Amino acid sequence: MQQPTAPELEILKLLWSKQPLTAREIHDELATVLSWGNSSTRKTLERMGDKGFIACETMANKNSYTTLLDKMPTLAAFAQDFAKRVFELNEPLPVAMFASSKLVNADEMADLEKLLAELASPAHAQTKNTAMKDNES
């Protein structure tokens, strides 16, 4: 499953703090951060639904959205990807670095530690082939 894009992550973080929210609520909350037109927010919500990131429940003409992605595994995936891609770190990241994060509490921190360890060990085996002489693969 692909990673959420930056704006999508913003929406997910919001939903992780307040579960069912209507499109308008989400839009208003994000107004301070994303300055989007209402349609942009809804379109993004729609696409997130297509990707299976969130679920949409229509109720009395209003759509309520809920996350389908678990918070810590998602954040852990982001962390691991970052560590590997940017710094080529293979060991799990020390959770200490997230200590001051306002969106992760003690319990979640414990989960995070475990998740990071898991993601790091079975090392992503990225096998590739293809090796032409000249043009194109």
Partner DNA sequence: CACCATCTGCGACAATTGTCGCAAATAACA
Partner DNA sequence: TGTTATTTGCGACAATTGTCGCAGATGGTG
CB atoms within 10 A of CB 15: 22
Question: Residue 17: enclosing H or E segment and its boundaries?
Answer: helix 6-17
Which residue type, as a one-letter code, is found at position 1?
M
Question: Residue 122 in contact with residue 84, Cβ under 8 Å?
Answer: no
The binding site for DNA (CB under 7 A) comprises 2, 5-8, 22-24, 34, 36-40, 42-44, 46-47, 56, 58, 60-63, 133-137
Q: Least CB distance from residue 39 to DNA, whole Å?
A: 4
Q: Which is nearer to DNA, 88 or 136 (CB)?
A: 136
Residues that bind a second copy (CB under 8 A): 6, 9, 13, 28, 31-40, 75, 78-79, 82-83, 85-91, 93-94, 96-98, 100-104, 126, 128-132, 134-137
Which residues 6+ apart lie within 8 Å of 113 measured at CB? 92, 95
CB of 19 to a second copy, least distance (A): 19
Report the alpha-carbon angle 14-17-18, nearest 5. Answer: 85
Using CB distances below 5 to 8 A depending on partner kind, what does residue 105 bind out of DNA, a second copy, none? none
CB of 35 to a second copy, least distance (A): 4
